Amino acid sequence: MLVEKQLVRLKSYDMALSPESQLITNERNKTTFNVTELTNILDGGVEKTALRKSIERKFSLDPNMKAIHRGYLNKEQINVQNNRKMMYFFTNLAKRNNWHVDKPHSPEMEFLPRTLANGSGLVIHAGAFVPSIESFGTPEQAAKWLPLAKACQIIGAYAQTELGHGTNLRRLETTATFDPHTQEFIMNTPSISSMKWWPGALGAMATHALVMAQLITRGENHGMQAFMVPVRDMTNHKPLPGITVGSIGPTLSLDSTDNGYLRMDNVRIPKENMLAKYAYVDSKGKFQKIGNDRLMYASMVNLRVVLTKDEAVTYIQMACTIAARYSCVRKQGSLTPGGPEVPIIDYVTQQDKIIPYIALSYALHFNLAFIRSKYVKFLEDVKRGDLSNMAEMHMMTAGMKANATERTSAGVEILRRSCGGHGYAISSGLPYILLRLVASCTYEGENTVLYLQAARYLIKTAAKVSMGQPVDASVMYLTEDAPDRCQAANQMELYDHSILEACFKHRSKQLLLSVATELQSLVADGMKQMEAWNLVSIQLVNAAKAHMEQHIVSTFSAYLRNLNCSNEVREVLDQLCSLNALHQINNFSGDFLKDGYLSSKQLDMARRAEVQLLASLRRNVIGLVDAFDFTDDMLGSCIGSYDGNAYERLYEWAKNSPFNKSDVHEEIYKDLRPHLRQGRDILNKMSKL
């Protein structure tokens, strides 16, 4: 009975009996635009909205996709439950509905990741292992391994990161040494720091690992290559000879990702298990490169595009939805002496915690739509052998992954705190979202490393600009002549998107040219390039951040210029675009004041302009988060439900806790009992005096 109560089927309450439900209904009635129209814009059209809703409906109606809320379970139980669900999804539900989960650009894959937000190791199998076979394998190897992997008849982990090395791929220690006598590769993790550490799906699930290792043949190291290594017996799932494999233990979050470790001691695999799309070893051990191995990286860039869209954007939208809804039903204090209690969203300080992150979530959504379309075109160019945009694509995806995950994880913490004590409870859904996003700042490239990679491209671009050479489209603004002072004469002009774009382009250009000049000066004075780079690395990171933030502001503005929509929707999106930019100007005012581009008077106007936008957007807060169209099941939040019934749901959650399955917790009472009985006896004696 308890398990039945714990199933994620949030109870429907009689809205007429709930003051909170009435409050949120009143908020919806204030909305000035058509929410469905905005939802369709976010989804990419009416047809795509219908597809998304169809997918979500099939999930919600399938009893095999129901689950006990993770807040009631320990790590092992979460892992088992999510893997059960995901195995059913991949082998049954997706197949039955003809969802092309193996094709990252299929229509369904635009929406399935947000529905699968809780994930499992099988998501790593499908999202990293399977694409890696396609990226690294020959057609013959793909024909052998892909059908098995897509049918989950083998489960795979992508094993690259080691205990002692993460982003420094050239220093990976795992080796694959070719033995020409047996036509085998001998796989070894020669030191404790060389063992594979963190790969998802490896801890308890994987039968195979796609291992990245240093290829050694004829005594020469030919760098990192990909090898298909069986790790568990296909009959009994036990580790194979020479394999030591297991879970790395509890982590801050991602309980069902099944992160594992792998040690290999002279493990022999057939020669054909080296994935040989871009490199080949013949029977005598001669190494040969095939084609352009940069093509391999081109397909892998997709992971960063997917990560930013399906995690950073989705989770900040979810957090905004929860915090906004709760802020509209939570009452506290009054705004007039002796007046009635008001929803906390009426306080400007609360608006400042929530509405700018709603604006950011929209800005990132449209920016990622731009990057995704650019990436699709980039892949088409690559297929024709055109790699001219590779460096720009790398900079854009690396910088945006870093910027989006950094800003959204920081934003979710602010949104969590905006909900007071209830935001700290697992039942709010916010702690899970926060910890999920915090992790994304590290995997698929640690953010500081990615910023520095983006900065390297930007420094090279600055050199091209100084020499009058052509540059890529996304950095063309660095070549433009522009006024050295902001042109806004009054507060109204600071809402103008073109003026805001100019502010961010100027800031980015100045920060980049400043660090480029300092770097050049240090090298000219005799410092080695790498030492100089390290010395100015903080400025380089800041320059990369500034570039990405101007890119977000510019793409949001450009999207709105080309958008066909109602006047009401345009007005609210225009306000969000301006707010996103003004909030960053006010947060980083020093960058804009530094060289006098903004005056102190203009900065005062920017602060007032932001506060005015908060007031203007206040009435549309619920409509803006409703447009994200998350179901209650997807949010998993007692305080962020559509009907606003936060308090009833919190009480229901508490009653259903396993901790409350009986009136007396016998294990706890056993330790308390002798002392409490002594207290009882003392009180009884005192009462008789």
Is 454 strand, coil or helix? Answer: helix
Q: What whole-number distance in Å separates Cα of residue 385 and Cα of residue 423?
A: 51
Report how far residue 580's alpha carbon sits from residue 551's, in angstroms, rounded to the nearest whole number.
12
| DSSP H or E stretch at residue 351 | helix 348-383
629: left (phi over 0), alpha (psi -120 to 50) or beta: left
Q: How far apart are CA 457 and CA 669, in angstroms?
A: 64
444 among known catalytic residues: yes
Amino acid at 152: C
Tell me the sheet residues that pair with 184: 179, 270
Q: 322: closest CA among 194, 461, 420?
A: 420
The Cα-based distances of 468 to 30, 464, 677 in angstroms read: 54, 6, 88
Residue 649 CB coordination number (10 Å): 22
Give the chain's length: 689
CB 526 within 8 A of CB 535: no
- C-alpha to C-alpha distance for 597 and 368, rounded to whole angstroms: 29
User: Which entry of 20, 56, 444, 549 is annotated as an active-site residue?
Assistant: 444
Q: Which candidate, 656, 618, 622, places its Cα nearest to that of 642?
A: 622
Q: Are 102 and 109 in contact (CB under 8 A)?
A: no
Answer for the pair 591, 546: CB distance below 8 angstroms, yes or no: yes
Helices (H), 248-347: 294-300, 302-307, 314-329
Largest distance between two CA atoms of the chain: 100
State phi, psi for 270 to the nearest 5 degrees.
-60, 150
- In 3-state terms, what secondary structure has residue 222? strand
DSSP result, 79-133: HHHHHHHHHHIIIIIHHHTT--TT-TTSGGGGTHHHHTTT--HHHHIIIIIHHHH
Q: Which tokens sit at 124?
A: 């790593």
Phi/psi for 43 (5° steps) reads -75, -20
Spatial distance between the Cα atoms of 315 and 318, rounded to a whole number of angstroms: 5
User: In sequence order, which residues have a C-beta less than 8 Å from that of residue 400 and are 6 or more positions away?
Assistant: 304, 308, 367, 368, 371, 548, 551
Q: Catalytic site residues?
A: 444
